[in-house]
């Protein structure tokens, strides 16, 4: 018998078992450590891998095998040649934790980022969002309808200052000169499209030009509109006037959104901002056709928000109050509007400026506003929240209704 046998016999007499040159302390009856095992601290780091034997019994075969493999301390995923099923880190949904990678045949493969859609994989553009960046819209293309004056022109100025390439749509024949002025002032490419937003053929040609020249549309501002020609009650509204209101405000916004959404979905990014009015939430006499059209724009906005959300597209409506645009200034000069009356009705005590509305539109067009969608944002100086109506809607009855 070799020397190894004598070592094992002496170890057994002392309450230990020797396997492969490693001393395994056998627990005495009662399950507590004896004085000899407590005194031997040389293998304390190794003994934590050894399973305790049953009281009074020898150390189990599993404990001996574990101790023999003490030098094979290799992660389970490497021993198995892949991710071990019992060692996969779980995510919140109980499935394997997804960090953008998975394994094929033991090799790490980077998973492509994007969304699976009916058209295929849409690659999302994940850019770092820096709200205070000097040009947060650099590389983006913004289409602004009604961009020749008023709120549209003020919005185009701010979008260009934020770095966006501009496409201006208007029926004003002076639009090319306005586009040239903007391009020189901001050193941006500005494409003028002289067309009626309600003409689907002309707008289809216009968006085809945008696609051919820039290859994308990131921002759409539906601002084009017309004013109520006459303040008359609903039973006196001429049907051609009613149709014109719906055609420009509602059909125009619908046509432009219908053409812009496919280009936005292609780039997995889009910001649609529709201009409505205080008349979309309040009732004022003599403006029923205008109110119907602007209320319809709010409904369109909500539908676009739901349909586009999974493609990186947001849609919001901006609700201006009484704004000193060129058309309203003309009415003030003609005496058909009372400046002081509406300024007093507004809690902030003044009329708004087109730049007030343009700031809100520009914010909603930024990449940083991606969690805002389907909203209606008033820029009215508090006009809509003031409860007392002071506009004459008819004579006051002497008798009060009871019941």
**pLDDT (tens digit, 9 = 90+) per residue, 18-65?**
555 555 555 555 444 444 444 444 444 444 444 454 554 555 555 545
**pLDDT (tens digit, 9 = 90+) per residue, 319-364?**
998 898 888 888 888 877 778 877 888 888 888 999 999 999 999 9
Active-site residue among 290, 311, 342, 383?
A: 290
> From its phi and psi, is residue 106 left (phi > 0), alpha (psi between -120 and 50) or beta?
left
Q: How many CB atoms lie within 10 A of CB 90?
A: 9
User: What kind of fold does domain 136-383 have according to CATH?
Assistant: Rossmann fold (3.40.50)
Find the mean pLDDT for residues 182-209. 96
* Model pTM score: 0.66
Is-catalytic flag, 311? no
Q: How does residue 84 score in pLDDT terms, banded at 50, 70 and 90?
A: very low
CA pair distance 108, 30, nearest whole angstrom: 50
State the number of CA atoms in the 13 A half-sphere of 337 facing the CB. 17
Find the mean pLDDT for residues 368-378. 96
Q: How does residue 107 score in pLDDT terms, banded at 50, 70 and 90?
A: low
One-letter-per-residue 3-state SS of 293-357: HHHHHHHHHHHHHHHHHHHCEEEEEEEECCECCHHHHHHHHHCCCCHHHHHHHCCCCCCECHHHH
Numbered ranges of CATH 3.40.50.720 in the chain: 136-383
């Amino acid at each position: 018998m070799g020397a190894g046998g004598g070592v094992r016999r002496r170890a057994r007499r002392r309450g230990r078992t020797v396997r492969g040159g490693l001393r395994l302390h056998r627990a005495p009856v009662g399950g507590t450590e004896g004085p000899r095992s407590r005194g031997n601290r040389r293998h304390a780091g190794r003994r934590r891998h050894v399973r305790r034997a049953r009281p009074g019994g020898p150390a189990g075969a599993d404990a001996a095998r574990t101790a023999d493999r003490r030098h094979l301390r290799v992660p389970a995923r490497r021993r198995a040649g892949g991710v071990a099923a019992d060692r996969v880190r779980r995510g919140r949904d109980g499935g394997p934790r997804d960090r953008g990678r998975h394994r094929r045949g033991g090799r790490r493969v980077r998973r492509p980022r994007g969304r699976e859609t009916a058209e295929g994989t849409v690659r999302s553009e994940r850019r770092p969002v820096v709200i205070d960046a000097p040009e947060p819209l650099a590389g983006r293309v913004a289409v602004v309808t009604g961009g020749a004056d008023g709120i549209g022109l003020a919005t185009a100025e701010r979008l260009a200052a934020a770095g966006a390439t501009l496409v201006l749509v208007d029926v004003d024949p002076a639009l090319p000169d306005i586009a040239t002025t903007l391009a020189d002032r901001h050193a941006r490419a500005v494409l003028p499209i002289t067309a009626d937003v309600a003409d689907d053929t002309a707008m289809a040609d216009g968006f085809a030009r945008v696609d051919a020249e820039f290859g994308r549309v990131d921002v759409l501002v539906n601002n084009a509109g017309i004013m109520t020609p006459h303040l008359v009650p609903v039973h006196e509204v001429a049907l051609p006037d009613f149709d014109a209101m719906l055609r420009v405000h509602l059909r125009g916004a619908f046509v432009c959104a219908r053409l812009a959404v496919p280009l936005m979905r292609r780039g997995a990014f889009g910001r649609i901002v529709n201009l409505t009015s205080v008349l979309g939430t309040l009732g004022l006499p003599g403006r029923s056709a205008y109110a119907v059209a602007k209320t319809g724009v709010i409904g369109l906005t909500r539908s676009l928000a739901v349909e586009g959300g999974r493609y990186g597209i947001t849609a919001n409506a901006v609700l201006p109050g009484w704004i000193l645009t060129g058309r309203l200034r003309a009415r003030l000069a003609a005496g058909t509007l009372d400046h002081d009356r509406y300024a007093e009705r507004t809690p902030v005590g003044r009329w708004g400026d087109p730049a007030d509305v343009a700031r809100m539109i520009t914010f909603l067009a930024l990449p940083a506003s991606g969690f805002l969608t389907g909203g209606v944002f008033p820029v009215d100086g508090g006009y809509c929240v003031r409860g007392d109506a002071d506009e004459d809607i008819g004579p006051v009855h002497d008798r009060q209704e009871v019941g």
